[in-house]
Amino acid sequence: MIVDIIHDSSSPLTAEDMVACMKKKMPEVDKSTVYRTLDLLEETGCVYRSESDKGIVFHHADEGHHHHLVCNKCGKTVDVEEDLFLPVEKLLVDKYNFQVNFQHMVIQGLCKSCQ
Amino acid sequence: MIVDIIHDSSSPLTAEDMVACMKKKMPEVDKSTVYRTLDLLEETGCVYRSESDKGIVFHHADEGHHHHLVCNKCGKTVDVEEDLFLPVEKLLVDKYNFQVNFQHMVIQGLCKSCQ
DNA sequence: ATACGTGCAAAACTTTTGCATTAGG
DNA sequence: CCTAATGCAAAAGTTTTGCACGTAT
């Protein structure tokens, strides 16, 4: 059900958001269960945790879509191909000898209709 | 003095880190003062707040250095030119009609000697 | 006198943990 | 039975707020 919530949401949700969603759908579910389930889902690779303006947010772990554009106005999200940052990663290695892996980035910005 | 701490630190610090540093240098300073000062410094543009693995961290706002590479092993940081993400920003506009501004990114990775 | 910055304490908010209960194998 | 998941309550950790006091203008 948590996975459903993540899938249904148009934007990445924080743990607190999840708890609130859960309360609506199943009032008897406790927040500790939500937190524990999120940990579990993350361990098993079903969801990803990453940082955004809202704090720590969770995403589904569908194949082939590994970054998320989030519109700061309407909240709409778009999935983006994983290799978006490859050029940047290469530059950082070449110029700074610095090894980076951009994964599941939450990228805040403005979508076409909100600009 | 908070600005000094930020400058002196080899890696971005969380608010709690600051409080701890402060306690060492001036034990009588209260955490609320640290939090309030950080808010103030951010409003006046002296420091920046951004997200990293550690949570919310603060940086100095020197001109010309706008992203930070942080080594996950040794904690060393390197400042990176602001336009690092320009190609990515352009791609996101062209391909997704999505307007993004990467600012003061904290980029986690491994430095040369820790790889 | 007044306005401001501070320390202190308490509150608020988020996340984690311990424990007793329950449901399923 | 026995294991594992749950609800509940309390604890822990982080950040914010109210208030009274002192200092400098």
Beta carbon of B36 within 7 Å of strand C?
A: yes
B65-102 tens-digit pLDDT:
788 898 988 888 888 999 999 999 999 999 999 999 88
Neighboring chain B residues of A54 at a CB cutoff of 8 Å? none
Q: Could you tell me the CA-to-CA distances from A75 to A12, A53, B101 in Å, in that order?
A: 9, 12, 16
Structure pTM? 0.83
Please name the residues in contact with B83: beta carbons below 8 A apart, sequence gap of 6 or more. Answer: none
For the stretch A50-72, pLDDT in tens is 888 888 999 887 767 788 898 98
Tell me if A52 and B52 make a contact (CB, 8 A cut-off). no
- Span A9-52, pLDDT tens digits: 878 899 999 999 999 999 899 999 999 999 999 998 889 888 88
The per-residue pLDDT for B103 is: 84
Please work out, in degrees rounded to the nearest 5, the angle formed at the alpha carbon of residue B9 by the alpha carbons of B71 and B6.
Answer: 120
What's the angle, vertex CA B102, arms to CA A6 and CA A84, rounded to 5?
Answer: 65
A59: three-class secondary structure by DSSP:
strand
Would you state the pLDDT for residue B63? 67
Q: Are A106 and A115 in contact (CB under 8 A)?
A: no
| Segment B10-67, tens digit of pLDDT | 788 999 999 999 999 999 999 999 999 999 999 998 998 888 888 889 988 776 678 8
Interface of B with A (CB under 8 A): 51-53, 69, 71, 78, 80, 84-85, 87-88, 91-92, 96-102, 107-112, 115
- In this complex, which of B51, B97, B112 lies closest to A97 when CB atoms are compared? B112
B97 vs A contacts (CB less than 8 Å)? 111-112, 115
Find chain A residues with C-beta within 8 A of B96's C-beta.
69, 78, 80
Name A residues 22-51 whose Cβ lies under 7 Å from strand D: 26, 28-30, 32-33, 36-37
